[in-house]
Chain A
């Protein structure tokens, strides 16, 4: 088992203003601390250490943008950079992926 810090460059490039969704091969298990995500393709685990982040991730598939999913989950403007960084980490590990606007 190894823990890996994601590349900082991957965090900086997350586009909050486009639609995203949970990857089809990812299973979500809600936990008291937040949630566990397991990717069946890459066999990677991600710990979401905030119930609010789980709410954001769950809302991604229906929200028009990631920014809107954050807003619906009650993420404040001050918290938005940290959540964008967390979503960038999840995107870099393929837990979430961009989707076409509907």
Chain B
């Protein structure tokens, strides 16, 4: 019984992640940030 409940929770959590990802992915497509600290001497 508890195993089934656990499975249901995981499935629900996965579904929530799948819904949240497109917004994050779209934002990441528009801007990407890079730090160049520590690159001194690398030419």
Residue A43 at the chain B interface, CB threshold 8 Å: yes
Q: What residues on B are CB-neighbors of A3 within 8 Å?
A: 32-34
> Which of A43, A86, A93 is in CB contact (< 8 Å) with B27?
A86
84-102 of chain A: CB within 8 A of chain B: 85-86, 89-90, 93
* Inter-chain contact B33/A93, CB cutoff 8 Å: yes
Tell me the bound Cα distance from A89 to B34 in angstroms. Answer: 12
- Looking across the interface, which residue of chain B has its beta carbon closest to that of A11? B27
- A-B pair count, CB < 8 Å, reads 64
Tell me the bound Cα distance from A90 to B32 in angstroms. Answer: 9
* Inter-chain contact B30/A4, CB cutoff 8 Å: no
Stretch at the interface among A19-27, A48-56, A61-69: A48-56
Tell me the bound Cα distance from A36 to B32 in angstroms. Answer: 10
> Which of A2, A8, A48 is in CB contact (< 8 Å) with B31?
A48
Q: Which residues of A are interface residues toward B (Cβ below 8 A)? A: 1-6, 8, 11, 43-50, 53, 81-83, 85-86, 89-90, 93
- Looking across the interface, which residue of chain B has its beta carbon closest to that of A83? B30
* Inter-chain contact B33/A89, CB cutoff 8 Å: yes
Q: What residues on A are CB-neighbors of B30 within 8 Å?
A: 48-50, 53, 82-83, 85-86
- Looking across the interface, which residue of chain B has its beta carbon closest to that of A86? B30
Tell me the bound Cα distance from A8 to B28 in angstroms. Answer: 11
Q: What residues on B are CB-neighbors of A86 within 8 Å?
A: 27, 30-31
